Chains A and B, each alone.
Chain A
Amino acid sequence: MAVKRVRFTFPEELIREPVIYRLGHEFRVITNIRMADVDEHTGWVILELEGDPDEIERSLRWAEAQGVRVDPITGDVVEG
């Protein structure tokens, strides 16, 4: 089991879709929304995913295929 934190950014056409709910149903991954900011045009959610690491990766690739942007929540560590 692993926990991974990511940031989902939703384009306007996906705002009303239950993407996170479906992700939790189609993959053996527990989703936990830690923070969110959503309005009618865009939105982002900080999501904690718990499960088998491969299953988490598969679920994230699925989310991207739906049109969600998936980013790591911490910034880059390697600086100039």
Chain B
Amino acid sequence: MSFATELRCRECHRSYPLQALHACEFCFGPLEVQYDYDALRRHVSRRRIEAGPPSLWRYRDFLPCDADAAIDIGAGFTPLIHAKNLGKVLGLPQLYLKNDTVNPTWSFKDRVVAVAATRARELGFQKLACASTGNLANSVSAHAAAAGMEAIVFIPADLEEGKIVGSSIYGPTLVKVRGNYDAVNRLCAELAGAYNWAFVNVNVRPYYSEGSKTLGFEVAEQLGWRAPDHCVVPIASGSLFIKIRKGLNELARVGLIDEPRTRMSGAQAAGCSPVATAWAERSMNFRPQKPNTIAKSLAIGNPADGYYALVQLRDTNGDCGSVTDDEIVEGMKLLAETEGIFAETAGGVTIASLKQLVERGSIHPDELVVAFITGAGFKTIDAVAGRLKPALEIDASLESFERAYGALAHTGVA
């Protein structure tokens, strides 16, 4: 049982049934799931949620699918850590990190795919498809496997072998597409229209994107049922950024927390920064870019929700970071060395942007800040390999060790 009532166009507010639809036929605006908030308000309580499972399904009442038939590989309810060491470095005593690296396939995409897969199966689809260079492919492959569905995953032909293994282990139909990024994009948009598959981020996108709300729910619950003052979120399509705030808004709407005054700030890599660039130019029209960054998981040059991300930046008095590849690597190292969390490049973008926004005065030291770390470091080893402190190499003797370690002490490194 779900409290979802209909899909509604974000632009012209026309209603659509809760089917596999994603764009308004009239104005091409994106469709979004609506709920019966009055019924939801009567039904939910903090106690009911707290008694739920330690996964995103504890927020089942806020999701657009039947949780009794959930495809559950354990996504969500990840740790929220008070990052005292990193907070000291940045001058933010109330800095928290939402550690979404610990999801079943090591990224926050498990949240969106869990919801999309559950809804897709409910709608009668047997095939779950996506086009992805990494995280999404991993998650779709894993969830389809657990659901007994066929996964059809399109990847660029030049994708590194290491990234493919994280999907192929689950046994999907993997399709390598020759051609440049634009060609792959065009083909996948066409395929999504031509086949009766659940393309997770195309025809079931309204359900898919709702999964990201659970990050907002969890953070509020983990803070003792309150919204943070400021969130820093990596932006690719912009969906995650918008939905975290939607989650906070919904909790307030049903009376579980006070009205959030949370400022929402974004994080992008300079090599793919359509939102950050438009924001810096004070424009509400972003220009699509050709991505060129080590943060491959954020490399969306033409973001589907870019406009809404800009609206949210404006409406919540946020700001948007834009960081270089070097800053991304430094961000990854800083996070690992201060808090013991190894994040992928997207995490480096978030931490480097956090630093940039503090230095720019956009984040205040007295704010309770949550930075979202959305993917694990083993996904992007190449980004940091060769840029870390090398190992000492010794013969198998005490003397050899003491010489090497002593030399280190001498240089003041140890």
In angstroms, Cα B26 to Cα A34, docked, is 8
Verify A77–B11 contact, CB threshold 8 A.
no
Pairwise interchain contact B237-A5, C-beta atoms closer than 8 A: no
User: Are the CB atoms of A78 and B188 closer together than 8 Å?
Assistant: yes
A75 pairs with B346, CB closer than 8 A? no
A-B contact count (CB 8 A): 77
Contact B285 A80 (CB under 8 A): no
- A78–B28 touching, CB < 8 Å: no
- Tell which of A44, A69, A76 has the most Cβ of chain B within 10 Å: A76
Residues B136 and A76 in contact, CB atoms below 8 Å apart: no
Q: Which residues of A sit under 8 angstroms from B301, Cβ to Cβ? A: 76
Against B, the Cβ 8 Å flags (1 = close, 0 = not) of A60-80 are: 000000000101111111111
Q: How far is the CB of B208 from chain A (nearest CB, A)?
A: 10
Q: Are A75 and B287 touching (Cβ within 8 A)?
A: no
Question: Which residues on A sit within 8 Å (CB–CB) of B199?
Answer: 77
A76-B304 CB under 8 A given contacts A5-B28, A69-B287: yes
**Cα(A38)–Cα(B28), bound, Å:** 18
Tell me, rounded to whole Å, the shortest Cβ–Cβ distance linking B158 to chain A.
Answer: 13
Closest to A41 in B: B283
Nearest A residue (CB) for B201: A79
Nearest residue in B to A80 (C-beta to C-beta)? B297
Does A59 belong to the interface (CB within 8 Å)?
Answer: no
Report the minimal beta-carbon distance from A76 to chain B, rounded to whole angstroms. Answer: 5
Q: Tell whether, in the assembled complex, residue B302 and residue A80 are in contact, meaning their CB atoms are under 8 Å apart.
A: no
In the complex the two chains form, what is the Cα distance from A9 to B288 in whole Å? Answer: 12
Evaluate contact between B11 and A78: CB separation under 8 angstroms: no
> Which residues 24-53 in A have Cβ within 8 Å of B in the complex?
34-35, 42, 44, 46
Q: Is the Cβ of B346 less than 8 Å from the Cβ of A46?
A: no
Residues of B within 8 A of A76 (CB): 185, 237, 300-304
A75 touches B306 (CB 8 A): yes
Q: Chain B contacts of A5 at CB under 8 A?
A: 28
Q: In the complex, which residues of chain A have a beta carbon less than 8 angstroms from the beta carbon of B332?
A: none
Q: Hey, which bits of chain A sit against chain B, CB under 8 A?
A: 5, 9, 34-35, 42, 44, 46, 69, 71-80
Given contacts A5-B28, A42-B285, A75-B302, 16 further A-B contacts (CB under 8 A): A34-B28, A35-B11, A42-B283, A74-B304, A75-B305, A76-B301, A76-B302, A76-B303, A76-B304, A77-B189, A78-B184, A78-B188, A78-B300, A80-B134, A80-B236, A80-B299
